[in-house]
Structure 1
Amino acid sequence: MSYVSENTVTTIDVTDPLYCNPNDVVSTLKITPILTEVEKYIPWKRGMQLALSSKRKLGFVTGAVEKSKRDNVIIEAWLAANSLVISWILQNVSEPIKMAILYTQSAKEIWKLLKGKYLVSNGARKYKLNKDSYECNPNRKPVTDYYIQLRTEICAFLDAMQKHKEDARLFQFLNGLDKTFGIEECNTAYVTPAKCG
């Protein structure tokens, strides 16, 4: 697809994540079941990742496809593709969740909000995951079902533990800052933490 802008031609290849196929409408990406307040986040997230990847749009939620600052045509293409991804996410969540994320500007930010809400690393969540994994009984269900359920619960528990470790490292770093740093520096560090090695 080619666009003409101020005597220059901008081409977006059909394999580019910015390319929106005319057949890619809101109803073309449907995950079952949709994310609700009681549904498990991990299977929904995996379904969305697979579906978005098949449309070459996963980079919009991971942050790999960033908004350009150099070309108005590319910016417009990014806005269109980002809006399409947001529409797909909105179609695959319950009404209360939809109302909570409806006015968020980027698919990446929505993805981060949903992860923060459903993949929390608090004690109650860890206890529930631990309890659920012990309640799985292979005698009452086929071994494959038992394995899949146990693996999903363990992965969720490990993700929660990793988040807890990252938070602990961040707090350790912030606590070690010299008192000459003000509250603004601490807030900035907390909002955009760097990955600790």
Structure 2
Amino acid sequence: MARGGHTRNGGGTQTHTTTAQQISNDDPSYTDTNRFSHLDNTRISREEARNPYFLAHSDHPGARLVPKVLTRGKNYSSWKRSMMVSLLAKNKIKFVNGTLPQPNPDDDDYDAWCQCNNMVISWIPHAVSSDIANRIMYLDDPSAIWVELHDHFHQNNGPRVFEVKCSMQVLTQGCNNVTTYLTRLKAL
């Protein structure tokens, strides 16, 4: 991606172009996040991107972070893992695990914290079934929602573990090839 500029040199205009590589050599904190976009020449530093209050253009209340929604206890473990990976990738895991507490209202970070906190809250209902979303929709803290979901669905994992162990005991290769058999076994 190139950034161009015009300078006056005597009577004519001279154009010079600065590449992202030249910028990154001049400014080590520069991250060329828009190297595939010609629409936006915004420079985002690595420090800014690592800030838990940073929201990318793709972060919006209707975003769906995981491909499968949490329906019942059967898919809680895989759902939780998918959500954790997504939240870690977006640098928002601290909002659900409670390690980024709400600052005082007079703190400079208060408004940014509220914005990100509500953004994370808005993502969770899109990752759960409507009956679960109705139950958690009035909780104002993503860590409280996370604990509520864990308390409700983690308890149901005991019967699921028993079911999986029984399924593993009766699983046979049969006429399947080794790859298919191992894939099924690993899925269990």
When normalised by structure 2's length, the TM-score is 0.64
Q: Which residue number in structure 2 is paired with residue 94 of structure 1?
A: 129
Q: 1:72 aligns with which of 107, 116, 132?
A: 107
List alignment gaps of at least 5 residues for structure 2: 1-46, 175-179
Any unmatched runs of 5+ in structure 1?
A: 1-11, 150-197
Question: What does the per-residue CA deviation read over 1:25-66, in whole Å, with 9 as the maximum and x for residues that have no partner?
Answer: 134343121011364100000000011111000111111211
Deviations 1:70-105 (A, max 9, x none): 743311111110111111111111110000000101
Contact 1:67 1:78 (C-alpha < 8 Å) held by counterparts: yes
Root-mean-square deviation (Å) = 2.2
Between 61-70 and 42-51, the greater mean CA deviation after superposition: 61-70
Task: Give 1:14 shift.
Answer: 3.1
Q: Which region of structure 1 is more displaced relative to structure 2, 69-78 or 33-42?
A: 69-78
CA distance in 1, matches of 2:158, 2:73: 16
Note the C-alpha offset of 1:134.
2.4
Tell me the SS of whatever aligns to 1:96: helix
Match of 1:63 among 90, 95, 98: 98
Query: Of the two, which has the highest radius of gyration?
Result: 2
Aligned-partner SS, 1:19: coil
1:184 alignment partner in structure 2? none
Which structure: greater strand fraction? Answer: 2
CA distance in 2, matches of 1:126, 1:37: 13
Equivalenced residue count is 135
The answer to whether the aligner puts 1:48 opposite 2:83 as a matched pair is yes
Shift in alpha-carbon separation, 1:71–1:142, aligned structure 2, 3 A: farther
Higher helix proportion (structure 1 or 2): 1
The match for 2:50 is: 15
Q: Which 4+ runs in 1 deviate beyond 4 A? A: none
Alignment of 1:116-195 (within 5 A): 116-120=151-155, 125-136=157-168, 137-139=171-173, 142-149=181-188
Identity among equivalent positions (%) equals 24
